Amino acid sequence: MQGWSVNRGVGILVIGLLLVCSGALAKAGEMDPLKPRVPPREQAKVHNWHPSYGSTRTAPPEVIAQGKRLYETVGLCAACHGKSGKGDGPAGKPLRIGPRDFTNCRFHQVRTDGELFWILKNGSPGTGMMPMVKPKGHLTEEQGWAILAYERQFCKETSL
C-alpha cells in the first residue's frame, strides 16, 4: 500500500515535470498579427503620418535598397525578424511573443504606414519589440521610413 502511494507520488511528479518542460519548450508564436497595436486615442494622429515620397508602397528603388541595408545591419531588424522577413531571426527565438512575419500579406493589408511608424517610435509594449526610431530608439525618422519601404517588399502579392 505504501509502495503504491510512493509510485503515485513519483508519477504525479513526472507528469508535472513533463507539463512544465513542454510549456517552456513550446514554440514562441506570433500574437494576433491583425489586431491593431496603436491605442485608439492615437489612431487619428498616426493617420496623417507618411514618408516624404507619399507611401511606403510606392517608394523609389534607391529608398528600398537603403532600407534593405539598414534592415540587415544597424537597424537590427533581421536579428529578430529574420533576413527572410518570416520572423525567424536568431534573437527572436527565445521570445515568448514571436516577431512579426512580414511575408504575411494580410498583415500589410490591414496596417497603414502611420501604424507601422508608430511601432518603430514606441515599440509594442509588453513584447520584445523595442522602440527603434528616435527619440527612444537609435534610428532617424528617414531611416525608419526606408526600412518600412523594404519591409513592404516581403509581401509578394502585387495587387496590394
Residues that bind ligand HEC (CB under 6 A): 31, 33, 37, 75-77, 79-81, 91-92, 95, 97, 99-100, 111, 115-116, 119-120, 124, 127-129, 132, 147, 151
Q: Are 132 and 139 in contact (CB under 8 A)?
A: yes
Residue 19 vs 140, nearer CB to ligand HEC: 140
Contacts of 41 by beta carbon, 8 Å cutoff, 6+ apart: none
Residue 39 vs 54, nearer CB to ligand HEC: 39
Q: How far is the CB of 80 from ligand HEC (least distance, A)?
A: 3
Residue 63 vs 119, nearer CB to ligand HEC: 119
DSSP code at position 97: E
Q: How far is the CB of 23 from ligand HEC (least distance, A)?
A: 19
Residue 11 vs 39, nearer CB to ligand HEC: 39
Q: How far is the CB of 38 from ligand HEC (least distance, A)?
A: 7
Please tell me whether residue 34 adopts helix, strand or coil conformation.
coil
Q: How far is the CB of 114 from ligand HEC (least distance, A)?
A: 11
Contacts of 115 by beta carbon, 8 Å cutoff, 6+ apart: 36, 37, 38, 46
Q: Are 53 and 66 in contact (CB under 8 A)?
A: no
Q: How far is the CB of 40 from ligand HEC (least distance, A)?
A: 14
State whether the Cα torsion 159-69-49-52 is positive or negative: negative
Give CA–CA dist 99/87, Å, rounded. Answer: 5
| Amino acid at position 102, single letter | F
Residue 88 vs 115, nearer CB to ligand HEC: 115
